[in-house]
Structure 1
Amino acid sequence: MRLELIENEPALILRGRIRYLVVADLHLGLVRFYDEFVVRRIEEIAEKMRVDEIVILGDLKHRIGYDWRVQKMVENLDFTLVKGNHDGGLKGEREIHIGKFHLIHGHVKPKEVGKNLIAAHSHPSINLNGLKERVWVFGRWRDSKVLIIPAFNDMCSSTPVNLRVPAGFLFRDLRDVKFLTLDLVMVGDPTSQSSQQPPSQFQHP
């Protein structure tokens, strides 16, 4: 199973015999007029990347209680939901395994942690010259390699990880941290101006 980040999109592909599109933190209902664009963008990426299945890694909706508008909006979208802290009233899984990857939302610790953990929840960004930019976060937590996904919905608030500790249990003990912008520029030290361009396709480090 190969992991591939999609350049300029907060979305990744898990590529094996089956191709999975993974996105997180849609928070539908946060900004009602924007919801349709968010769902349509996922459909467009799925079609362009020719994926077989879509995985939403938590917080499909913003309102914690039941939201019939969200249910209606995604009724034609075929996906697996890994439930987040905003997904009350929705059917979904607490965690799933796809090949060697263990996928969780990230708001609570899983009972068992795989060696390659993919999580969301924290809405990570970095502050560069006063501007926030969403980032992928790579690191290690205990014995696991970790990838934390940025929020798909760009209307969501984000936490600049170089200024304060984001929500979620992972960041409390995350080490060997690296940041990757959506255009796939690695920022080794998010307070510096130096960066390098990694390959657009790469294995989980």
Structure 2
Amino acid sequence: MARVEPVVGRPAAVADLGAERVLLVADVHAGIEVGLRYERGVELDSHAGKRRERLVELLETTDADRLVVLGDLAHRIGAPDGAEREELDRLIETVLDRVPMTLVEGNHDGGVAEAFADDIDVIPPTGGVLASDGDDGDDRDDAGRVGVLHGHTWPNPALLDVDVICMGHEHPQVRLADAVGGSRTKRAWLRGGIDPVAFLGDSDGDAAEAASDPSTSTPPPELVVFPAFNERSGGTWVNVEGQSFLSPFLPAALPSADAYLLDGTRLGDYRRV
């Protein structure tokens, strides 16, 4: 069974695909400071160098063979230019000096995928499967098969034929209250068994029904919703009643899921935190 293990204290995880060890992150939002300046008139010092250094540190400490970004590598929608393009150029060059890089195309990445198509591998927005060398995609018991998507659109039904599906887009956070009425927000992971019917919606009813058939010998995959790599990108307060999710299949596709803080603390059912 494929394993996806978070890196303690970091918004990143490692997947062992057998022949390849993959570092996964979501929602880097390179150039966010430029976007915030134009979108909201907010002036912030650029953290471009810090983001790049954190990625390099993670690649080195996890001994990864590849970096996979689960969408929204860039912040501003459209072809990158100016300071954002400079950050992307340096970040991608720095990563490629060490390991290959794969981008799962997110809703902010249309221009990025096109601009860097010659340098990085691109997986379409509906998602794809990361497989170990020699895997033909027919054996669910293979030790190295992980589904990946960004999460802003309905997914490829083939993702249901893996053990673990990893996604970004949602930027999950939990709002924690203290004894004196104050509160703070923390980035969080969501992990739980998937509801195939809700996950696919109307995109492929036959595949969803087949995956949810109790007579089958294999359970539906686990869904792992990644915290945003970029600490400035905000997020969905998953434990606040009435908070709207961004993904079209959430929260319905996660009928039961636990929230975890970046330090590994298990908070239990995210709805009851």
Match of 2:225 in 1: 148
Q: Is 2:57 the counterpart of 1:44?
A: yes
1:66-145 residue pairs with structure 2 within 5 A?
A: 66-67=79-80, 68-76=85-93, 77-78=95-96, 79-91=101-113, 92-94=122-124, 95-98=127-130, 99-112=144-157, 113-114=159-160, 115=162, 116-129=164-177, 130-139=183-192, 140-142=194-196, 143-145=220-222
CA distances 1:96-147 after superposition (whole Å, capped 9, x unpaired): 3123211000101122132421111000010101111111001223243211
Structure 2 distance, partners of 1:158, 1:27, is 12
In structure 1, C-alpha distance between the alignment counterparts of 2:92 and 2:263, rounded to whole Å = 31
Q: Return 94-103 or 153-162, whichever deviates more.
A: 94-103
Identity fraction in percent: 30
Change (3 A) 1:107 1:190: closer
* Cα distance in 2 between the residues matched to 1:192 and 1:85: 30
RMSD: 1.7
SS at match of 1:41: helix
SS in 1 for 2:123: coil
One-letter code of the match for 2:173? S
Residue deviations 1:15-62 (CA, integer Å, cap 9, x gap): 132110000100011125112211210011101111111101100000
Residue 170 of structure 1, CA deviation: 3.0
Letter aligned with residue 251 of structure 2: R
Which of 17-26 and 86-95 deviates more? 86-95
1:61 and 2:106 equivalent?
Answer: no
Number of matched pairs = 193
SS in 2 for 1:90: helix
Q: TM-score under structure 2 normalisation?
A: 0.66
User: 1:169 maps to which residue?
Assistant: 248
Which one has a larger percent helix, Structure 1 or Structure 2? 2
Distance 1:191 1:146 in 2: 16
Does the CA-based 8 Å contact 2:74-2:112 persist in structure 1?
A: no
Q: Contact between 2:22 and 2:66, CA under 8 Å: does it hold in 1? A: yes
Unmatched tracts of structure 1, length 5 or more:
194-205
Judge conservation of contact 2:72–2:107 (CA < 8 Å) in 1: yes
8 Å Cα contact 1:128-1:191 kept in structure 2: no
- Taking the aligned partners of 1:102 and 1:189, their CA distance within structure 2 comes to 23
TM-score (norm 1): 0.87
Q: Does the aligned pair in 1 maintain the 2:27–2:228 contact within 8 Å?
A: yes
Letter of the structure 1 residue corresponding to residue 244 of structure 2: V
Q: Which has the larger radius of gyration?
A: 2
| Contact 2:257 2:270 (8 Å CA) reproduced | no
Matched residue of 1:74: which SS? helix
Q: 1:12 aligns to what?
A: 13
AA at the equivalent of 2:195: W
For 2:259, the aligned partner's letter is F
